[in-house]
């Protein structure tokens, strides 16, 4: 269970969820190939879906119309400033083939993507007409917590608004990040309600000139548990099945030509779920992990994505076919949670092969922009131990207290942190 869980204990009982996890684990044996196919069949588009989504959402194969993946709304930086407004308000929104009565950004379950370059300024106006006091955490950004910056101790009360003004440092690495509610004890539910969005720091492909024109897709993995009231449940049960979406859509398609290279920027914006992603054994090439460019393109056939994690990959399929982005069943340890397998989206490889296919992997031009810290002598070394009791999660045997300072670090120091997980589950 991730940090969001740890700080939202008021909403969920660890004991109850652990007991359920064991039960659930026993109840869900590994899926057979037939079962996997049934998942796909369940999500075949119906006449009702067509009405709901609008015809423009459907792919170019008239025999098998399916909703194409739609990008979330987007705000781009202009003249060095990315200026956006997110309005949290409770309303009925479309979430896949269901509706959800929820407090989310701008009437969409998936919030707007904010795009800017290192060195720009982000001005994010947050209007809180939601159900909780809130705030925004800019996940993975190396920015100041001061003044109108990235502080999880900021509180935007219900009925108020607040504008974050954040200078993005020149050393912020290009890649995919996200922003989400992080107010203590309600962040888990707010994230599941949809108080999240994606951040792109531009320039991720600057070191790969041959790839500068490849088609890009933002792929937001997000999920919820819905109660009888039509809202996100009050008591989230971590191991219970959740309704999983990709950019507000259920099992959408992406079209790709044989031999074409496309760029998938995948963010796990869920509260708890781990994904264990694959394309049915097809290779893909990783260019970024959690906003850090990889030194070289890394070939992979499977990638585990914890809650909050991101991965950016190049895909190419040489033969026509339907290649499903799939997550396998995953269990986070004897004391952890179990998540079922599911198909998330389909890359439909069709049409004429591209004339001059781009070779993969590409060799990057110039050095990796990340500093190599492996040879730096640390100024301070700390050991951080994660543990669990029957009732709570702890770091160095202490439960979170927002009024206490646990680690005081000096600006500019090089620190070595040894992180030890003594619990019986992934963290
Ligand atoms: Cu976060």
Of 201, 232, 220, 184, give the one whose Cα is nearest residue 369.
201
Same domain? For 273 and 404 the reply is no
- Better-scored residue on pLDDT, 130 or 337: 130
- Report how far residue 144's alpha carbon sits from residue 133's, in angstroms, rounded to the nearest whole number: 22
**CA 307 – ligand 1 centroid, Å:** 9
Same domain, 391 and 331: no
Final residue of a structural domain among 334, 349, 364: 349
pLDDT at 12 over 80: no
pLDDT at residue 202 greater than cutoff 90? yes
Looking at residues 267-280, what average pLDDT do you find?
A: 94
CA of 313 to the centre of ligand 1 (A): 21
For residue 19, the model assigns a pLDDT of 31
389-398 tens-digit pLDDT: 988 999 999 9
Band (63; pLDDT cuts 50, 70, 90)? low
Tokens representing 199?
Answer: 């951040």
Residue 53 confidence (pLDDT) above 70: no
Q: Does residue 381 fall inside a structural domain?
A: yes
- Average pLDDT of the segment spanning 231-259: 91
Among 191, 231, 241, 141, smallest CA distance to 8 is for 191
Do 286 and 327 sit in the same domain of this protein?
yes
Ligand 1 centroid, distance to 198 Cα (angstroms): 11
**Same domain membership, residue 342 and residue 268:** yes
d(CA 350, CA 64): 12
Distance 359 CA to ligand 1 centre (A): 35
Answer yes or no: do 220 and 344 share one domain. Answer: yes
Q: What is the pLDDT of residue 65?
A: 62
Residue 185 Cα, ligand 1 centroid: separation in angstroms? 14
Cα 270 from Cα 235, distance rounded (Å): 16
308: CA distance to ligand 1 center in Å? Answer: 6
The arithmetic mean of pLDDT across residues 33-55, rounded, is 38
Beta carbons within 8 Å of 345's beta carbon, 6+ residues apart: 69, 219, 246, 251, 252, 253, 254, 324, 325
Helix or strand holding residue 52 (H, E)? helix 47-53
Q: How many domains does the chain have?
A: 2
Residue 32 has what pLDDT? 38
Tell whether the model's pLDDT for residue 262 goes beyond 50: yes
Give the whole-angstrom CA distance, residue 249 versus residue 98: 10
Instruction: Judge contact between 160 and 177, C-beta under 8 A.
Output: no
What is the average pLDDT score of the chain?
A: 85
Q: What is the dihedral of CA 87, 291, 218, 302, to 10 degrees?
A: -130
Across 89-93, 234-238, 349-353, 386-390, least confident range: 234-238
Does residue 212 share a domain with residue 63? yes
234 and 333 both lie in a single domain: yes
Cβ–Cβ under 8 Å, residues 169 and 176: no
| Residues 280 and 413 grouped into a single domain | no
Is 246:221 a contact under the CB 8 Å cutoff?
yes
179 Cα–ligand 1 center, Å: 7
Check which CATH number belongs to the domain holding 23 and give it.
2.60.40.420
For residue 360, tell me if it sits in a domain. no
pLDDT of residue 64: 59
| Cα 1 to Cα 78: distance, rounded to the nearest angstrom | 38
- Kindly indicate the confidence band of residue 38, based on its pLDDT and cuts at 50, 70 and 90: very low
Give me the percent of the chain exceeding a pLDDT of 70: 85
Identify the pLDDT of residue 62: 54
Tens of pLDDT along 303-354?
Answer: 999 999 999 999 999 999 999 999 998 888 888 888 889 999 999 999 999 9
Structure tokens at 155: 């509180």
Per the CB < 8 A criterion, the answer to whether 312 and 287 are in contact is yes
pLDDT at site 52: 33
For residues 386 and 294, state if they share a domain. Answer: no
Give the distance (Å) from ligand 1 centre to CA of residue 325: 24
Ligand 1 center–CA 271 separation, angstroms = 9
Phi, psi of 53 (to 5 degrees): -85, -25
- The set of residues, in sequence order, having a beta carbon less than 8 Å from that of 46 and lying 6+ positions away, is none
Owning domain of residue 416: 373-421
CA of 250 to the centre of ligand 1 (A): 24
**37 CA from centroid of ligand 1 (Å):** 34
Burial classification of residue 36, based on how many CB atoms lie within 10 Å of its CB (0-12 exposed, 13-18 middle, 19 or more buried): middle
For the residues 372-401, what does the mean pLDDT come to?
93
d(CA 302, CA 281): 8
* C-beta of residue 164 within 8 angstroms of C-beta of residue 128: no
pLDDT digit string (tens) for 155-192?
999 999 999 999 999 999 999 999 999 998 999 999 99
Pair 291, 386 in one domain? no
Distance 196 CA to ligand 1 centre (A): 10
C-alpha distances out from residue 369 to 206, 361, 366, Å = 11, 19, 9
Q: How far apart are CA 335 and CA 338, in angstroms?
A: 10
What is the CA(178)–ligand 1 centre distance, in A? 7
Contact of 133 with 183, CB cutoff 8 Å: yes
Residues 220 and 332 in one domain: yes
């Amino acid at each position: 269970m991730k940090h969001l869980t740890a700080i939202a204990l008021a909403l969920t009982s660890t004991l109850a969820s652990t007991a359920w996890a064991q039960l659930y684990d026993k109840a869900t044996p590994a899926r057979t190939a037939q079962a996997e196919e049934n998942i796909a069949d369940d999500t075949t588009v119906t006449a009702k879906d067509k009405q709901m989504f609008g015809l423009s959402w459907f792919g170019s194969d008239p025999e098998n119309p399916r909703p194409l993946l739609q990008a979330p709304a987007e705000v781009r930086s202009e003249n060095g400033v990315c200026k956006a407004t997110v309005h949290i308000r409770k309303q009925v929104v479309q979430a896949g083939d269901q509706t959800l009565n929820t407090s989310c950004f701008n009437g969409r379950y998936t919030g707007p993507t904010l795009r800017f370059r290192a060195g720009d300024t982000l001005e994010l106006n947050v209007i809180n007409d939601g159900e909780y006091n809130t705030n925004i955490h800019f996940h993975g950004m190396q920015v100041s917590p001061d003044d109108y910056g990235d502080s999880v101790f900021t509180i935007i009360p219900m009925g108020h608004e607040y504008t974050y003004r954040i200078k993005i440092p020149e050393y912020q690495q290009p890649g995919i990040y996200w922003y989400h509610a992080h107010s203590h004890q309600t962040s888990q539910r707010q994230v599941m309600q949809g108080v999240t969005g994606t951040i792109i720091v531009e320039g991720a492909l600057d070191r790969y000139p041959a790839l500068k024109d490849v088609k890009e897709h933002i792929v937001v993995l997000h999920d919820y548990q819905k109660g009888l009231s039509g809202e996100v449940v009050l008591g989230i049960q971590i191991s219970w099945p959740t309704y999983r979406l990709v950019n507000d859509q259920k099992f959408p398609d992406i079209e790709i030509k044989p031999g074409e290279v496309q760029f998938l920027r995948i963010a796990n914006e869920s509260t708890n779920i781990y994904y264990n992603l694959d394309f049915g054994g097809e290779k893909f090439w990783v260019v970024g992990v959690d906003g850090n460019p990889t030194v070289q393109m890394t070939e992979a056939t499977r990638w585990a994505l914890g809650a909050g994690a991101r991965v950016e990959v190049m895909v190419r399929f040489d033969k026509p076919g339907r290649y499903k982005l799939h997550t396998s069943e995953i269990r986070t340890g004897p004391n952890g949670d179990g998540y079922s397998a599911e198909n998330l989206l389909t890359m439909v490889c069709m049409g004429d092969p591209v004339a001059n296919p781009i070779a993969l992997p590409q060799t990057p031009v110039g050095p990796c922009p990340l500093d190599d810290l492996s040879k730096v002598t640390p100024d301070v070394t700390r050991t951080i131990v994660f543990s669990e009791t029957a009732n709570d999660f702890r770091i160095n045997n202490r439960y979170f207290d927002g009024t206490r300072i646990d680690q005081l670090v000096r600006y500019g120091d090089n620190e070595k942190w040894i992180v030890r997980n003594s619990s019986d589950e992934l963290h």
